[in-house]
Structure 1
């Protein structure tokens, strides 16, 4: 049993993670170094951990944890996340208070 995947098998795996792509896309990601692969006799050998690492990196695009962003951008994105979380906390506190009032529970 081989311990690597072909480009076609990599496409199938990425489809399992609901990423729409084709062999051309995978070849481009390999060329850009986004998916690590080795070339052997004209074919690429791709290891599953490399594909999973690519998926993790892809899921972090636009967040404070995106690969390759500078510290200023990271801080800005973290501050945005904190603001969004604070809004969610406020919303949940209001919801909790409404539910307590509906149930006749006095807030503490």
Structure 2
């Protein structure tokens, strides 16, 4: 089943993306007691609740890219996720600030960054 294009976003963009499929990149900071949700700090340094379809058996580490749909409360209902290694020679390798700038540019100039 093709779920279509996913819009890359940060937490501040979620209210405008309700009902749409998104891709959110961030760091996992906490797992809910139910083990069916986790919290991710996105590239704009705000926390987003991610609701999983199944119980979280392995704690997602480092940076995770979450794919799912934004619900009415601006949570993400996760379809799938990918975890990335973020440590290179003992230092953080990923620059969230630059990534956030790129996301903002893509949203400010949608004709140049087509997601469909």
Structure 1 or 2: more strand by fraction: 2
Pairwise same-fold verdict (TM > 0.5): no
Length-normalised TM-score, structure 1: 0.24
Task: Report which of the two structures shows the higher radius of gyration computed on alpha carbons.
Answer: 1
Which structure has more RCO (C-alpha within 8 Å, separation ≥ 6)?
2
For normalisation by structure 2, the TM-score amounts to: 0.23
